[in-house]
Amino acid sequence: MNQITTRDRTTADAAKTGTPDQVSQTNQGAPHKAAPAKPRRSVLRPILMLGGVAVVIVGVGYAWLTGGRYISTDDSYVEAAEVNTTTDVAGIVARVLVHEGERVTKGQELFRLEQHHFRIALDGAKAKLAQTAEDLAAEKEDYQRMLKDVDTESAQVAQDQADFGRYASLIHSGGVTRAEYDDARFKLAADQARLESLQEQAKTQLAKLGGNIDKPIDQMPEYMSAAADVAEAQRQLDHTIVYAPFNGIVTNVESLQPGHYLTAAAAAFGLVSTDDVWVTAQYKETQLTHVRPGQKVTISVDTYPGQTWTGVVQSIAPASGSQFSLLPAENSSGNWVKVVQRIPVRIEIASGPKDLPLRAGMSVEVSVDTGHQRHLSDLF
């Protein structure tokens, strides 16, 4: 008993006055007693674990229920109507009236070719047209003359027939000689042949006039052909001046210089529209279940952070982009692998910041408000 009491007293004194190491050494000699259980921590732990799981499930469920309304993609770009200005006539460039990056309006002159030889061609076509009109008028007059010749020859044939009839009645009575009778018969035959020839010539002349002597000259084939030549010469002259087909900005203008020989249909420089601008979004086919034309769209452009534009779905392409590729997928081959296709969606830009220009090719992100609401029944 004295030994135990002395050791306990030593331990108590060490706890009061000794160092932590001394206390630890003292406690090592004492028997270890189990700490009392903490029932409160044991109860809270499963409650917190189950509560955390429940919160995650509720959060995921809420996100799923509200997440089917907006369909977004960053595979989308600004597009605009663009054209390579050109003309269908060949010639030497006389003047270029615009500069690189200049904003032009519809109908504004962009450049023109040398017009001298085109004017010569037009003058020649007009002269040919005038000559054709005079020739047709002369042919009408000639036809009228031929008709008169036919009438004159018809009267002569009638006279010959009368003379031949009298000679035929007198030949048996000796009133005329056999030579006079033969002369009358040969003269009648010759005049009849001449009459037939004149009639054929008149028919031919009438056919040249279109079968109708009363038809106006400007409706006759020869005149219309000459008039078409004049129109073509005028068209070529007009096309030596190239105008802007729409409002836009010209680009790559330096590739065309005065003195350059521009072949027909060769590209001169580019023109990008500033009015006809839209967004093409390449959506996955699985995202288009509830997308319809007319739905509202929110557009954000990478170039202008924090700025947004609004638009509407204008149309959904009738085919995927791969259908128009040069090397479409061979789905009938044994190496076929199913790949989610991209369907182009055209988005019309309705409104947005007016002082921030949108340029063709800019990367954008679009979000379509489909208005669709998910329900728990969709899971079953």
- The span from the CA of 301 to the CA of 297, in Å, is 13
* pLDDT value at residue 215: 87
What's the pLDDT at 235? 97
In CATH, what number is assigned to the domain containing residue 247? 2.40.50.100
Which pLDDT belongs to residue 114? 97
Mean pLDDT of 342-371: 94
Going across the sheet that includes 241-243, the strands are 241-243, 109-113, 91-96, 261-262
pLDDT, average across residues 33-46: 61
Number of domains in the chain: 3
Pair 259, 123 in one domain: no
290 and 153 inside one domain:
no
Separation of alpha carbons 309 and 180, rounded Å:
111
Q: How much of the chain exceeds pLDDT 90, in percent?
A: 56
Q: Is 166 left (phi over 0), alpha (psi -120 to 50) or beta?
A: alpha
Q: Do both 282 and 376 map to the same domain?
A: yes
Determine, yes or no, domain membership for 18.
no
Question: 285 with 224, same domain?
Answer: no
pLDDT over threshold 70, residue 10: no
- For residue 14, is pLDDT > 90? no
Kindly report which listed range (53-67, 220-234, 310-324, 363-377) carries the lowest average pLDDT score. 53-67
> Is pLDDT of 31 > 70?
no
Tell whether 33 is covered by a domain: no
Question: Does the pLDDT value for residue 29 go beyond 50?
Answer: no
> How high is the pLDDT of residue 90?
96
Question: What pLDDT was estimated at residue 211?
Answer: 83
Q: Are residues 102 and 247 in the same domain?
A: yes
Phi, psi dihedrals of residue 129, rounded to the nearest 5°: -65, -45
Assigned domain for 24 exists: no
Of 280, 273, 267, 362, nearest to 324 by C-alpha is 280
Contact yes or no for 180/194 (Cβ under 8 A): no
Average pLDDT over residues 360-366: 95
Average pLDDT over residues 137-142: 90
Per-residue pLDDT of 255-298, as tens digits, reads 999 999 999 999 999 999 999 999 999 999 999 999 999 999 99
Together in a domain, 162 and 300: no
pLDDT at position 302 over 90: yes
Residue 205 lies in a domain: yes
Q: Has residue 34 been placed in a domain?
A: no
Same domain (yes/no): 120, 204? yes
248-256 mean pLDDT: 95
Q: What CATH number has the domain bearing residue 286?
A: 2.40.30.170
pLDDT at site 133: 94
Name the pLDDT band for 40 (thresholds 50, 70, 90).
low
Q: What is the pTM of this model?
A: 0.67
The answer to whether residues 220 and 262 belong to one domain is no
* Partners of 296 in the β-ladder: 312
Lowest-confidence segment of 2-6, 211-215, 318-322 by average pLDDT? 2-6
* Band (300; pLDDT cuts 50, 70, 90): very high
If you average pLDDT over residues 124-136, what whole number do you get? 95
Kindly state whether residue 283 falls inside one of the protein's structural domains.
Answer: yes
Q: What is the pLDDT of residues 160-191, one digit of tens each?
A: 899 888 888 887 777 788 888 888 889 999 98
The predicted model gives 83-88 an average pLDDT of 95
**Residues 129 and 205 occupy one common structural domain:** yes
Domain match, 125 and 229 both: yes
Domain membership of residue 150 (yes or no) is yes
Q: What value does the mean pLDDT take over residues 308-317? A: 96
Q: Which of 18-22, 52-56, 325-329, 369-373 has the lowest mean pLDDT?
A: 18-22
Of 328 and 157, the structure prediction assigns the larger pLDDT to 157
Q: Do both 260 and 351 map to the same domain?
A: no
| Residues 185 and 74 placed together within one structural domain of the fold | no
8 Å CB contact between 285 and 304: no
Is residue 103 in a domain?
yes
Instruction: Quote the domain boundaries for residue 160.
Output: 116-238
Q: State the average pLDDT for the chain.
A: 85
pLDDT of residue 36: 54
Q: Which residue type occupies 274?
A: T
